[in-house]
A and B are shown apart, each in its own frame.
Chain A
Amino acid sequence: MTEHVIKVSRDQIQSAKWLIELRGGEDKVSPLIRKIANAKRPAAEQSSEFEAS
């Protein structure tokens, strides 16, 4: 199955985290907001690979 990647800004991540805080838990927000709040930085080698290609 194809994995779709969405890129979000730090502001989006922080807003999602604060929304979870405001509502009182991850179970009170949509799955997409939960994913945004837990977004990770891409691995360094992934970026290098891409630039090389």
Chain B
Amino acid sequence: MTVDWWTPVLAFLGGGGGAWLSYRAARRDTVARQEGERHDLTQREGQGRREEWGRRFTAALDDIASDEFRRRELGRTVLVHLSGSELATAEERELADVVLERGALLEDDGDVLPTPPEGILVDDLRVEEDDGDIRKRR
């Protein structure tokens, strides 16, 4: 008699436990899948941002080589701004640094200002902006 009473109870508990375990497993799978999808989305977004950053960086470098002063100046502005981004690698920051340093030392005729100019102390130099009047002097 006692055995007859416990059999359905044990069956019920067994069924309930099995269902609970199935639910837990299914839920774990769902959470893992959602996390995987979120990770993929984040990764795709990161790649997209990085690609867009790369396009802008390349465009800024192109602008610096433009014939128009205004465009060159905008190129330098964008280059410095992009170099401060978390998306920039150390190598790209160094490239921006080299481009600007070279741009500061490179004269219109392609010569590079020596550092310091032959045997002259930098303190003894007066640096002036070259304008039309000065060009007449040369």
A positions within 8 Å CB-CB of B: 1-16, 18-19, 21-23, 30-33, 35-42, 47, 50-51
Complex Cα–Cα for A40 and B127 (A): 7
Answer whether residue B18 sits at the interface, using C-beta atoms and an 8 A cutoff.
no
Q: How far, in Å, is B111 (CB) from chain A's closest CB?
A: 11
A-B CB contact pairs (8 Å), 9 listed: A3-B124, A3-B125, A7-B129, A9-B130, A18-B77, A19-B100, A39-B127, A41-B131, A42-B131
- B-side interface residues, number (CB < 8 Å): 40
Q: How far, in Å, is B36 (CB) from chain A's closest CB?
A: 39
Main secondary structure of the interface of A (DSSP, over half): helix
Among the stretches B5-13, B24-32, B41-49, B115-123, the one at the interface with A is B115-123
17 more A-B residue pairs beyond the given contacts A11-B103, A41-B128, with a C-beta to C-beta distance below 8 A = A5-B125, A7-B130, A8-B130, A11-B69, A12-B107, A18-B79, A22-B80, A22-B83, A22-B84, A22-B93, A30-B115, A32-B122, A32-B125, A33-B101, A33-B105, A37-B104, A50-B133
Main secondary structure of the interface of B (DSSP, over half): helix
In contact, B124 and A2 (Cβ under 8 angstroms): yes
Complex Cα–Cα for A42 and B129 (A): 7
Query: Across the interface, which residues of A come within 8 angstroms of B80, CB to CB?
Result: 18, 21-22
Complex Cα–Cα for A22 and B134 (A): 30
In contact, A50 and B130 (Cβ under 8 angstroms): no
Query: Across the interface, which residues of A come within 8 angstroms of B133, CB to CB?
Result: 42, 47, 50-51
* In the complex, residue of chain A having the shortest beta-carbon distance to the beta carbon of B137: A50
